[in-house]
Amino acid sequence: MDNRPIGLLDSGVGGLTVVKKIIAKMPHEATVFIGDNAHIPYGDKSKAEIIALTKQSVNFLISKNVKLIIFACNTATAVAMKAIQKEIEPQIIGVIQSGAVAAANATKNKNVAVVATKMTVGLHAYQKEIQARDPEITVNEIAAPQIVPLIENNAGHQAYMAALKKILLPINNLGVDTLVLGCTHYPIIRSEFAQCVKPAVQIIDPADQVAQYTYNIMKRDQMFTDSSAKGKHEYYTTGDVKMFDELGKIVLQDEKFSAQDL
């Protein structure tokens, strides 16, 4: 048994979509989340910048004595996870591998689309992981750098729809049957994504698979807490606490949500 919290990090509020799934799957576990909103978006930065910023968040989580760390950020997973895992003891779990497994299992016509940040698309992170499982799957990658800032600013339904209609138009002409939300911010506006693609398209949120994978790892390594009480959850942001709280209440559907400034 291990009563230490689970650590999670993201460039912003998007990682809370993963926190939500972790809490639902393991309600007795405690969590510590850090959103590096002061430096969002990561997807437009250099690899060196992304690694340096991610290391800062990792070091903070280690200082909170977490038992493992979930990179609830696709860009950080693609760029920094392997390098940082070599330097630290706590196991790191990323989101891309889980999303790739879910997509490969879901597609029936072997034609998948991935919407993600510019960096994640540029590295072909999902394409490599999906085709490693099935080389016959066509992976159409689309960069959508404008979406994260819209979500972080709580731009609203009309702004999301206007942007997504332009971004997702090619997908509707490609015959894909599966769409991967390749950024943890995107599930926050999942309903808008669904309205902009054909009804038959399956939408994959990697967070579902991440929660299950984390559960499996913790069961295997006997890392579950022995507490029968609801887990305590701490939230930190390097950015605007008020805006973070507003979005946190929406994502976690918790009016008592409150983050701390870092």
43 annotated among ligand-binding-site residues: yes
Is 175 annotated for ligand binding?
A: no
Q: Show the 3-state SS of 49-105.
A: HHHHHHHHHHHHHHHCCCCEEEECCHHHHHHHHHHHHCCCCCEEECCHHHHHHHHHH
Q: How many Cβ atoms sit within 10 Å of the Cβ of residue 54?
A: 25
Our answer to whether residue 73 is catalytic in this structure is yes
| Residue 10 annotated as binding site | yes
Residue 213 counted as an annotated binding residue: no
Residue type, 178: T
Of the residues 6, 8, 73, 251, which is catalytic? 73
Contact status, residue 13 vs residue 247, Cβ threshold 8 Å: yes
Catalytic residue among 183, 196, 211, 223: 183
Q: Is there a binding annotation on residue 184?
A: yes
Are the beta carbons of 258 and 235 closer than 8 angstroms? yes
In this structure, are residues 74 and 145 in contact, taking their beta carbons and an 8 Å threshold?
no
In the sheet that holds 111-116, the strands lie side by side as 138-143, 111-116, 178-182, 202-204
> For residues 259 and 229, what is the distance between their CA atoms, to the nearest angstrom?
21
Question: SS3 for 192?
Answer: helix
Distance, CA of 136 to CA of 111 (rounded, Å): 9
Q: Is 183 a catalytic residue?
A: yes
Displacement of CA 30 from its chain's centroid (Å): 19
List, by residue number, the catalytic residues: 73, 183
Which residue numbers belong to the known binding site? 10-11, 42-43, 74-75, 184-185
Which residue numbers belong to the known binding site for substrate? 10-11, 42-43, 74-75, 184-185
